[in-house]
Amino acid sequence: MGIKFATSEDLEWINNQYASVGFVPSDLKQDKVAIITYNGENAGLGRLVHIDQNTMEMGGIYILPQYRGNKLAGYLVSFLVQEAKQSNASHVYCIPFEELATFYKKYGYKEVDTDQEAVHPTVMAKYKWCLQEYDKNVLLFAL
């Protein structure tokens, strides 16, 4: 198992994976994409989207079906959380599917009460888009 940051050579593979599950494509100018490998093969990916100098969104966590059950998502999320913390961004959001709430809480995420807390407008717009776009409910979390 290993984790590497994507280069432009990886972009077609990345966006093919995201297209296969209905996720928004990545742009390496704005996104820092991590690829997790297993037995030398690309097994999954995730990204940190830089919204502004103080705000990031972690998302696009996807492990290919044949590699599930190897705890790769946990390694990938832990890696991205550490990277986000090192960036000194004051706000790091995540918009997971509701059934993954317990998983993300293990890595320090907490649910955001949008009635009580100010949320970056770009993140709020994506959250609302996800609520409408996906058949499953999503939550808004922050580190």
Q: Provide the residue type at 26 as one letter.
A: S
The CA distance from 6 to 33, in Å, is: 5
Instruction: Confirm if 50 and 15 have CB atoms less than 8 A apart.
Output: no
The CA distance from 59 to 128, in Å, is: 15
- Domain layout of the chain by residue ranges: 2-142
On the question of pLDDT at 97 being above 90, the answer is: yes
Q: How far apart are the first and last CA of the chain?
A: 25
Each residue's pLDDT tens digit, 53-65? 999 999 999 999 9
Average pLDDT over residues 79-95: 95
Instruction: Confirm if 18 and 60 have CB atoms less than 8 A apart.
Output: yes
Residue with tokens 């961004």: 89
Average pLDDT for the chain: 96
Share of the chain above pLDDT 90, in %: 93
Q: Give the pLDDT of residue 124.
A: 96
DSSP H/E element including 129: helix 121-133
The CA distance from 139 to 143, in Å, is: 13
On the question of pLDDT at 88 being above 90, the answer is: no
Give the confidence band of 70 by pLDDT, cuts at 50, 70, 90. Answer: very high
Conformational region of residue 122, where left means phi above 0, alpha means psi within -120 to 50, and beta covers everything else: alpha
| Residue 79, Cβ density class (10 Å: 0-12 exposed, 13-18 middle, ≥19 buried) | middle
Looking at CATH, the fold of the domain delimited by 2-142 is given as Aminopeptidase (3.40.630)
